[in-house]
Structure 1
């Protein structure tokens, strides 16, 4: 009997040790998944990583090579690090994680701290943009929203290669506009699209505007004038005569026109306001200034 109790006691002890081991192993694996992707919390003097790090393995080998090649080409041409990072999970807020990855891997060392980083975190399905240096005014709040609006359909469909191509093409275009002196923003976006059409002829547009204006003015006046013409020639006065003298027995009310004034009711649909434009920014844990945005897909 004592031998059986002793054996059961040993089994319970072994079970407890096994449970502790499994717990510690799981904790270590979780910590490994969420450990920072930088050596320490000092800003290095040189860049430590490639401009594409696909930790979540969202791209094939050939796609990784192509995207990295384009990131390198655009970065060197524009003198701005254009970077992509994908992870399975991340510690803390994704905004702080993006800023720290940029700073502590030395992405600011190449071009006087100028760059933009796009991060995808798959566990929480979050994305983030971090900008630095001249990347802050080049990628305005409005520009970032337009960029991610174009990327989101690809991200939701799982077409990450397509989303990254949109990111690279848009970043290249925004940087072109920034170097030309007109960052892509609220007041410049519509003007840029209008002026970019090669067949734009100011004289023809002015002439067309005059024609449309005249037509818009003349047609309503003609319609209203027609409604006011209620007098008609009558060759006989028999309708108005009786033996007892003039007797007018015809009465007609004619509706001429009306005018209704309406005032539009303001709506609040939760959309963001862009009245000010420009770029908002904050300070990262390293003390550097960053612009950026983040959300879910």
Structure 2
């Protein structure tokens, strides 16, 4: 019995060690401060990396900082979403995580959210984080300070939790027409216009009908003088109770989402610099 208990304890310890090693290797395989634009010193990059990893572990999500000078022809939003999706970021089934991008190609700072982070960082909160990013560094080209401001501001909102009344709405999908659809539509419109024009011209060419009443010769106009006298007037007033006024609409809890090229759902927002 004692030997069996020892074996069981040893097995549990080995499984625990294996899980720790697996988690450590998973974090080691990914960088959480990717400075492709080369704007951070080695010490600054390490500081941002450690802060992002610690914050991500605290809230069970991946938090990433990326800088680039080449967005590969994409918008900042598409680049941020794709970098997050195609480089294996995001924890859990919903790929929870946040990516902060400083895009020197498009001159834009962008925040991309995924999974549960969409609910934490609403549209209003993202705008507030961007305010901090610009006020505390980006406007003055202090990129390390801007990135650290992102981490501090994001941490503050994550600690506050998902805001009360949070809701998610999908961004309207833009409909685009193919070249063939444009040509067909123009042809159909042109033919319809010609038919209408032809019919209108035929109607105008028809013989005019004789007037039934010669209004110029047989009509008379007499303008008399009339007077309106105001006798009495009354003004009625009524106080509308506050309870009857419609409630003000609020979008503070809204998180707007869109689909990335991978088909995943992302929230986010950006601002030019």
User: Which TM-score band applies after superposition, normalised by the shorter structure?
Assistant: 0.5 to 0.7
SS in 2 for 1:280: strand
Structure 1 regions of 5+ residues with no counterpart? 1-45, 186-273
- Cα distance in 2 between the residues matched to 1:143 and 1:86: 22
1:1-297 superposed matches below 5 A: 49-90=30-71, 91-109=73-91, 112-153=94-135, 154-178=137-161, 181-182=162-163, 275-277=250-252, 278-297=254-273
Please list the CA deviations of residues 7-53 of structure 1 after superposition, one character each: whole Å capped at 9, or x if unmatched: xxxxxxxxxxxxxxxxxxxxxxxxxxxxxxxxxxxxxxx77631110
- Cα distance in 2 between the residues matched to 1:283 and 1:99: 9
SS in 2 for 1:282: strand
Please list the CA deviations of residues 54-95 of structure 1 after superposition, one character each: whole Å capped at 9, or x if unmatched: 001111111111111111111111112111000012021111
Q: Against the structure 1 CA distance between its residues 176 and 55, is the aligned structure 2 distance closer, same or farther, given a 3 Å change threshold? A: same
User: Once the 2 structures are TM-superposed, how far is the Cα of residue 109 of structure 1 from its aligned partner?
Assistant: 4.0
Asked if structure 2 preserves the Cα contact closer than 8 Å seen for 1:138 and 1:183, the reply is no
Report the number of matched residues: 162
Q: Against the structure 1 CA distance between its residues 113 and 290, is the aligned structure 2 distance closer, same or farther, given a 3 Å change threshold? A: same
Q: Against the structure 1 CA distance between its residues 151 and 111, is the aligned structure 2 distance closer, same or farther, given a 3 Å change threshold? A: farther
Asked if structure 2 preserves the Cα contact closer than 8 Å seen for 1:100 and 1:284, the reply is yes
- Cα distance in 1 between the residues matched to 2:164 and 2:56: 17
RMSD after superposition: 2.1
Asked if structure 2 preserves the Cα contact closer than 8 Å seen for 1:80 and 1:111, the reply is no
Structure 2 regions of 5+ residues with no counterpart? 1-25, 167-248
TM-score (norm 2): 0.56
Asked if structure 2 preserves the Cα contact closer than 8 Å seen for 1:52 and 1:68, the reply is yes
